[in-house]
Amino acid sequence: MHTLGERIVDFKNVNFSFGSGLAVENVSFSISKGEFVGMIGPNGSGKSTIVKLMLHLLNPDSGKIMLFGTDIQQFADWKKIGYVPQKATFFDQNFPATVFEVVSMGRFANAGLGKPLSQNDKEHVIDALRQVGMLEYAKRRIGDLSGGQQQRVFIARALATKPELLILDEPTVGVDSRIQHSFYQLLKKLNKAGITLILVSHDVGVVSRNVSKLLCVNRKVNVHDISNGISKADLTCAYYPEFEMVPHHH
């Protein structure tokens, strides 16, 4: 297991409301370089809100968020963060793009929209496809792949920016359970290669077998270091009846 480095995500007493409804309350946690972090909790508990706050798609009502040691309000190096959104594979299956073209979209932040990819950009795309085991499918149409293969392609798109932090929101939704094992093996390989991972999931059992830190979310956040094992209480803390359930917002 590699040595953990500096903090790259830091939430301090963060609150956020949708109108009059408090979505996350007094949330504090940190994630260090090299960690594999799972985030679990019921629907509407605030998981997606926390991810959106982390990506600066939402601004907290109060509290402070730091990314790579910089206040999120001043943070500008977004290519350090890769994001695979929920239901990334739910798209028009007739979309006429090849696997290589889809992953190339991850390089536009560097090249700029409308500009041709440089040889260096193309090499990053090839490397990302190689990392997820999809290089041999580079010329295939994305719509002709299985759900699991498509999910690997969208991870490759996020990896093409060479991120230090990769956030995956419910990555196994719609993916055949038979191939989920190889998917989690891929995530472990990426983590071992030095990429910090945040995995948002409803699959409590699978998450607990693969991550080293668990964030249990139900408006508030409980943090558990589970590198040396996990208890039933750790796994179910987000579902305790004394936590108030929060309405789900889209």
Rounded Cα distance, 117 and 105, in Å: 10
Decide if 155 is inside a domain: yes
In this structure, is residue 5 part of a structural domain?
no
Is residue 230 one of the residues assigned to a domain? Answer: yes
CB 104 within 8 A of CB 160: yes
Supply the pTM of this predicted model.
0.83
| Residue range 122-144, pLDDT digits in tens | 999 999 999 888 999 999 999 89
Is residue 193, in this structure, part of any structural domain at all? yes
CATH at residue 48: 3.40.50.300
Max Cα separation, the chain?
56
- The number of domains in the chain is 1
Q: Which domain holds residue 196?
A: 25-239
Percent of the chain with pLDDT over 90: 46
CA atoms within 13 A on the CB side of 132: 26
pLDDT digits (tens, 9 = 90+) for 188-226: 889 999 999 999 987 777 677 778 899 999 889 999 887
Mean pLDDT of 64-89: 89
Do the domain assignments include residue 66?
Answer: yes
Task: Say if 52 falls within a structural domain.
Answer: yes
The answer to whether residue 84 sits within a structural domain is yes
Alpha-carbon distance of 160 to 22, in angstroms, equals: 36
Judge whether 102 lies within some domain. yes
